[in-house]
A = this chain, B = another copy of it.
């Protein structure tokens, strides 16, 4: 059963004792588990800040865009700031917080996977790169010693809580 899966250490090896309600993946999906929420975060990474642009680029109704932006702001991934174009009334834009920015690896993980397995010819429409050096960019699971980690070398252990 452990031919190619993660390694569960200590108390975790007793699988029936797990409490799934504490799972961080589940908690994350409670916040960004809808397709429209994840696509709004994608747009925010791309630099979209204005309500009309979110609605149009995500391809959702204004009602859905408003609901998602309100939820993502309340959850802390975006912050709502006033701006004013010349001669216009004050409006609001939505900018990434640190919490929102830190979702990038998860979104890029979905991006790479979708590009490889769900796009024609196994190639997505976009190439990710590092602007500073020009090399291709990828999402990787790595350890602090600098090793790439395949699934069967990944260990999960209970974190000590204080």
Contact = CB atoms under 8 A, between A and B. Distances in A.
Nearest to A142: B140
Nearest to A7: B131
Interface string A82-101: 00000000000000100101
B147 A133 contact: yes
B111 A161 contact: no
A105 B140 contact: yes
Interface residues of A, number: 98
Contact of A145 (B5, B8, B15, B130): B130
A111 B35 contact: no
Main SS at interface, chain A: mixed
Nearest to A101: B151
B38 A115 contact: no
A105 B139 contact: yes
Interface in A27-45: 27-31, 33-35, 38-39, 42, 44-45
Contacts of A144: 135-138
A161 B122 CA distance: 11
15 contacts: A2-B47, A8-B46, A12-B126, A20-B59, A23-B125, A24-B110, A31-B118, A102-B117, A121-B161, A127-B158, A130-B145, A136-B143, A136-B144, A137-B141, A138-B144
